[in-house]
Structure 1
Amino acid sequence: MKLSNLTKTRKGRVALAAVPVAAAASLLLGGVAQGAVPVSFAIAGGEFKIAADRLEGVGFSQYAGQATAADGTHHPAAIANIKDAKLYNLCQTVVQETALGKVGLKITAGDGEEPAKATDLQIGMTDLSGTATFRDIRIGVDASKVNTTSKGDQGDFAMDSDSIDIDGLQQVSWSTQAAVFQLTDLKLQLTDGEECF
């Protein structure tokens, strides 16, 4: 996947190199490092999946970067920021190989009337699909001038928008972090490798 090709459309579906979504507090697997953006924590070295029926976000930006594992390995990632996000019917899964075979951890939240909510959300991801609507979008913004608190390097390509809505969200990520993450109706279970998608 080319990170420079930040958006593409096919039959009304939008695939972004990075658009936000959520992770449960117990599964915040790492920090996103990119250029001048400080590393807050090292990723575990494995990707995880997130899905939601709908994401509603205010204050969005996206630019290229990398996620760094504890052993120093760098992984290309797209960095996405969202000031305030609501996630309806959130699902997150991570699967690892063990001596007993595949073992997974599945978290669900926001599957009732109240969605899961996040503030100052930042994601380092490699893939996302869904049907997206941007309001007041700017494409080709300098990454150091995006409209979110977190910014990229001067001279790097970026995009931002006042808001973003995504239906049928499916995302593969290296890391997710947030200032506040409210998981309404949280459920956590061990699985034999079942994933959100």
Structure 2
Amino acid sequence: MAHRVGRTRWRRFAVVLVSGVVACGTLGIAMGEGALAASFLISGKRFQVTADTLTARGLSIYSMLDVTKHGERVPVLVTGSRHSTISGLCQSVLVEVPVLGPQTLKITGGNERPVEATNLFLDTTFQSAGQADFRGLDMGIAQGEITKGPINPGDRNSPYFDPGGFGQQATSVSLTDVRLTAVALSAGTFDIPGLRVRIEQGRHECA
């Protein structure tokens, strides 16, 4: 009996974590081919994103409400960029596995050569940077008037997008020591040199 219970535990472990890795791989392929939908229902699961440096050309920042499959509304700050380069990228998500406890799915890359992304959108609940250098900054612009950076087409057509809401845009920005908590990430292309995907026992989120 104990042997059968053990097999069940490992099957649950495999289903949760392998499906997570497959989902990440599928997401990367879809983004690379530009096949990912402009908007989608989020899981509501927070994940961590850190970077040594992030440089963006054509920046937009605006508020939105993302919606989970169960109808929960999640307030987010959307940061969009037409082109981004990222060094020292780390993404992690914590998965609670029954019996086995917390497992960390971690994705890293861009250490020897920077990550490059086009039409990148990060839906975040927290953002910080050690240093931020903006060029051509407009703060307080109406969200519907943002032109320097992109607006996600799915957001612009959403009932939760307020054209008269508070927005921000810039010609470019350079950030160091970036720390984000996000609920969604999408991009037209996402090129990650030196991609590494691993699963670690316990809590080992990007810091």
* Fold shared by both chains (TM-score > 0.5): yes
Q: Counterparts of 1:190 and 1:27 in 2: how far apart (Å)?
A: 17
Shift, 1:68, TM fit: 1.1
Q: Which residue of 1 aligns with 2:187?
A: 178
C-alpha distance in 2, partners of 1:108/1:98? 22
For 1:137, the equivalent position in structure 2 comes to 137
Q: In the aligned structure 2, how far is the partner of 1:27 from the partner of 1:54?
A: 26
The SS at the match of 2:198 is strand
Counterpart in the other structure of 1:44? 43
How far is 1:149 from its partner? 3.2
Q: 1:176 to 1:184 in 2, by over 3 A?
A: same
Classify the secondary structure of the residue corresponding to 2:197.
strand
Distance 1:63 1:160, change over 3 A: same
Tell me the residue number matched to 2:96.
97
SS at structure 2 position matched to 1:144? helix
d(CA) in 1 for partners of 2:102 and 2:166?
A: 39
Calculate the aligned-residue CA RMSD, in Å: 2.0
The higher radius of gyration belongs to 2
Correspondent of 1:195 among 197, 200, 205: 205
1:105-124 alignment runs, 5 A limit: 105-112=105-112, 114-124=113-123
Give secondary structure in 2 for the equivalent of 1:44: coil
Q: d(CA) in 1 for partners of 2:64 and 2:150?
A: 16
* Aligned residue identity for 2:206: C
Q: Is contact 2:58–2:150 with CA below 8 Å preserved after alignment?
A: no
Higher helix share: 2
Cα distance in 2 for partners of 1:123, 1:74 equals 17
- Quote the offset at 1:153 in angstroms: 2.6
**Cα distance change on mapping 1:184 and 1:69 into 2, 3 Å:** same
Partner of 2:150: 149
Taking a change above 3 Å as real, the CA distance of residues 102 and 25 of structure 1, as seen in their structure-2 partners, is closer
Normalised by the size of structure 1, how large is the TM-score?
0.79
Percent identity between matched residues is 28
Provide the secondary structure at the position in 2 that maps to 1:111.
coil
Matched residue SS, 2:25: helix
Unmatched 5+ residue regions in structure 1?
1-23, 29-37
Runs of 4+ in 1 over 3 A off after TM superposition: 24-28
Contact map agreement 2:105 2:199 (CA 8 A) in 1: yes
Q: CA distance change for structure 1 residues 83 and 180 in 2, over 3 Å: closer, same or farther? A: same
Shift of 1:27: 8.2
Shift in Å at residue 39 of structure 1? 6.7
Count, aligned residues? 165
Distance 1:39 1:189 in 2: 28
SS in 2 for 1:185: coil
Question: How far apart, in 1, do the equivalents of 2:86 and 2:144 lie?
Answer: 27
Contact conserved, 1:91 with 1:106, CA < 8 A, in 2?
yes
Q: CA deviation at 1:45?
A: 1.6
